[in-house]
C-alpha cells in the first residue's frame, strides 16, 4: 500500500527526521491560507501515487500566498501518470546546496533489506543505477543485528565527504531503518535528501510503501489508505478477499490459486488470446465469492468470454458451480462461459451446471478450457461487430 508524501512526512517527523513545515490542502483557497501561515516562499506539491511529479509540473515554488493559490490551481488540473490531483502539500521552501538519494527496500534475491544511497539524488534513481551504477552505494542489512550505527555512518561517509554532513545523514539513515522495521515497509525513500544553505540535512520528499502482508498488524496505517487510489472494483475484490488485477485482454479468468491463475494466463497467451484479468478466488470458496468475481470481471467492458479454471482442493467444485448458476441468473449474464471443474466434489459441480438452465460450456483439460475461452471471445466479438 502506497502512502502519500504528506503521510510519509508525518511518519518521518514522528521519528525526528528533519522535515520542513507543511500542511495539506484540497483547494487553491486553502493553499493561500496555508502559504500565508507558513510565510515566505513555499513549494506546492501534488499528492499522487506517482514518482516524477517534479518533471510533470506537479511541484512548483511560489513566493507569496496569491502565487501559491495560482500554481495550485494549475496543479489541481493535472493528471500525473493517470492520477488526478485531489490534494496538494504546501511546504516551507528550502535553498538546496546538494541533493542525495537515500532508500531502503527489499532485495528479494538476498532476502534482506538493502540500503541504497547515492550522491546523485533529486532525479530518477533508476536512471542513475542504469547509466552510472558506480554512483550507487548498496548495503545489505543483516536482519538479526539490524543496521548498526557504525554501518550507517560508514554508508553516509561514502555519500558525503564532509564529516558533519555524513553524521547527520547517518542518524537519518538509522531512523529510516527503524521505520522500515517497525512499520513493515517494502520501500522507504528520501529523494532528495538535501543539504541546505546552512549545512543542515533535511528530507525534502517522502516515499513510503507498506508491505500489504504486514498491514494486518499496522491498523493505524491501514487507515491512511487513499480511497481514490483503487477503482471500485479493486476495492470490492480486496474487501472480499479476491486478488484481482485488471489487464487489457478480452478473456476473463476466474481461477483458484495464484499459481494456477498465472498458468491459465500464460496458456491463454500461448494459444494466441489475451487475458482480461488475473483473478484468484483463493483457497476457500462460497457461491457469494464467485458472484462477486463475475461482477468484477464483467465491469470491464472488454471482456468477451469467461474462463473458469478450478482445481478443487479446499475449494469445492459444487460451491463454484452454485456460484456460477447464481451469478448468471442474478446478473442476467449473457457472456459465453467455459468451465473446467476438477478435484473436490467435481461430479456434484458438473451435475449442478448440467441440471441448471444456465448455458455453460464444460471443459475437461486445461488446454481445452483455454482454447474454448479464446474461441468464444472471438466469436462474441465478431457477432457484436456485425
**Among the options 5, 10, 189, 346, which is catalytic?**
189
Residues 54-83 as x/- pattern, contact with ligand GDP by CB under 6 A: x----x------------------------
Q: How far apart are CA 73 and CA 92, in angstroms?
A: 18
Cβ at position 9, least distance to Mn ion in Å: 12
101 assigned to active site: yes
Q: How far apart are CA 210 and CA 187, in angstroms?
A: 7
Q: How far apart are CA 241 and CA 149, in angstroms?
A: 41
Find out whether 311 and 256 touch, Cβ atoms under 8 Å.
yes
Site for Mn ion in 212-241 (CB under 5 A): none
* Of residues 312, 293, 311, the one with CA closest to residue 252: 293
23 assigned to active site: no
Residue range at the interface with Mn ion (CB under 5 A); choices 201-209, 289-297, 308-316, 357-365: 201-209
Among 204, 210, 253, 341, binds ligand GDP (CB under 6 A): 204
Cβ at position 228, least distance to ligand GDP in Å: 18
For residue 380, state whether it binds ligand GDP (rule: CB under 6 A): no
* Of residues 106, 366, 187, the one with CA closest to residue 259: 366
Site for ligand GDP in 9-48 (CB under 6 A): 43, 45
Residue range at the interface with ligand GDP (CB under 6 A); choices 51-59, 143-151, 161-169, 297-305: 51-59
Find out whether 348 and 355 touch, Cβ atoms under 8 Å.
no
Q: How far apart are CA 99 and CA 121, in angstroms?
A: 5
Q: What are phi and psi of 189, to 5 degrees?
A: -150, 135
For residue 205, state whether it binds Mn ion (rule: CB under 5 A): yes
Cβ at position 46, least distance to ligand GDP in Å: 8
For residue 343, state whether it binds ligand GDP (rule: CB under 6 A): no
- Residue 124 carries which DSSP code? -
Comparing CB distances to ligand GDP, the nearer of 93 and 209 is 93
Q: What are phi and psi of 59, to 5 degrees?
A: -130, 115
Respond yes or no on whether the N-terminal peptide bond of residue 239 is cis (omega within 30° of 0): no
Strands 337-343, 361-362: pairing is parallel
Cβ at position 192, least distance to ligand GDP in Å: 5
Among 7, 185, 191, 285, binds Mn ion (CB under 5 A): 191
| Residue 53: Cβ within 10 Å count | 21
Site for ligand GDP in 121-150 (CB under 6 A): 122
Find out whether 209 and 106 touch, Cβ atoms under 8 Å.
no
| Residue 238: Cβ within 10 Å count | 14
* Of residues 225, 187, 179, 21, the one with CA closest to residue 104: 187
Cα end-to-end distance, the chain, whole Å: 44
**Among the options 5, 6, 101, 151, which is catalytic?**
101
Among 36, 96, 215, 366, binds ligand GDP (CB under 6 A): 96
Among 39, 52, 133, 143, binds ligand GDP (CB under 6 A): 52
Comparing CB distances to ligand GDP, the nearer of 54 and 287 is 54
Q: How far apart are CA 247 and CA 257, in angstroms?
A: 18
Return the one option of ligand GDP, Mn ion, none that residue 378 interacts with (CB less than 5 to 8 A, by type). Answer: none
Residue range at the interface with Mn ion (CB under 5 A); choices 5-13, 84-92, 202-210, 315-323: 202-210
Residue range at the interface with ligand GDP (CB under 6 A); choices 93-101, 170-178, 296-304, 346-354: 93-101
Residue range at the interface with Mn ion (CB under 5 A); choices 29-37, 80-88, 173-181, 197-205: 197-205
Q: How far apart are CA 159 and CA 139, in angstroms?
A: 13
Return the active site residues.
Answer: 101, 189
Residue ranges that bind ligand GDP, judged by CB under 6 A:
43, 45, 51-54, 59, 93-94, 96, 99, 122, 191-192, 204-205
Amino acid at each position: 500500500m502506497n502512502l502519500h508524501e504528506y503521510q510519509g512526512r508525518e511518519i518521518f517527523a514522528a521519528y525526528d527526521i528533519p522535515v520542513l513545515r507543511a500542511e495539506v490542502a484540497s483547494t487553491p483557497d486553502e493553499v493561500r491560507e496555508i502559504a500565508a501561515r507558513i510565510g515566505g516562499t513555499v513549494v506546492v506539491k501534488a499528492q499522487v501515487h506517482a514518482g516524477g511529479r517534479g518533471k510533470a509540473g506537479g511541484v512548483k515554488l511560489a513566493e507569496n500566498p496569491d502565487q501559491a493559490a495560482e500554481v495550485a490551481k494549475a496543479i489541481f488540473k493535472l493528471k500525473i501518470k493517470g492520477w488526478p490531483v485531489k490534494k496538494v502539500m504546501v511546504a516551507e521552501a528550502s535553498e538546496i546546496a546538494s541533493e542525495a538519494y537515500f532508500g531502503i527496500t527489499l532485495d528479494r534475491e538476498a532476502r534482506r533489506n538493502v540500503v541504497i544511497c547515492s550522491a546523485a539524488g533529486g532525479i530518477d534513481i533508476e536512471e542513475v543505477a542504469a547509466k552510472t551504477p558506480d554512483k550507487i552505494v548498496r548495503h545489505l542489512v543483516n536482519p538479526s543485528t539490524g543496521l548498526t550505527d557504525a554501518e550507517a555512518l560508514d554508508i553516509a561517509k561514502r555519500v558525503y565527504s564532509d564529516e558533519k554532513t555524513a553524521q547527520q545523514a547517518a542518524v537519518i539513515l538509522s531512523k529510516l531503518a527503524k521505520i522500515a522495521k517497525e512499520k513493515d515497509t517494502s520501500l522507504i525513500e528520501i529523494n532528495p535528501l538535501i543539504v541546505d544553505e546552512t549545512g543542515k540535512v533535511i528530507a525534502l520528499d517522502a516515499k513510503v510503501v507498506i508491505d500489504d502482508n504486514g498491514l494486518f498488524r499496522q491498523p493505524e496505517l491501514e487507515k491512511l489508505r487513499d480511497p481514490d487510489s483503487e477503482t471500485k472494483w479493486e476495492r470490492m475484490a480486496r474487501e472480499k478477499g479476491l486478488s484481482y488485477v485488471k489487464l487489457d485482454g478480452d478473456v476473463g479468468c476466474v481461477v483458484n490459486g495464484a499459481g494456477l491463475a498465472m498458468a491459465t494466463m500464460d496458456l491463454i497467451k500461448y494459444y494466441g488470446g489475451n487475458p482480461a484479468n488475473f483473478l484468484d478466488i483463493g483457497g476457500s470458496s462460497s457461491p457469494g465469492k464467485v458472484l462477486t468475481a463475475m461482477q468484477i470481471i464483467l465491469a470491464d467492458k472488454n471482456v468477451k468470454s469467461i474462463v473458469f479454471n478450478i482445481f478443487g482442493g479446499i475449494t469445492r467444485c459444487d460451491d463454484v458451480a452454485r456460484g456460477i448458476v447464481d451469478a448468471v441468473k442474478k446478473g442476467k449474464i449473457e457472456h459465453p462461459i467455459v468451465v473446467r471443474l476438477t478435484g473436490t466434489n467435481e461430479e456434484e459441480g458438473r451435475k449442478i451446471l448440467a441440471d441448471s438452465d444456465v448455458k455453460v460450456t464444460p471443459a475437461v483439460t486445461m488446454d481445452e478450457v483455454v482454447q474454448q475461452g479464446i474461441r468464444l471471445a472471438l466469436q462474441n466479438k465478431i457477432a457484436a461487430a456485425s
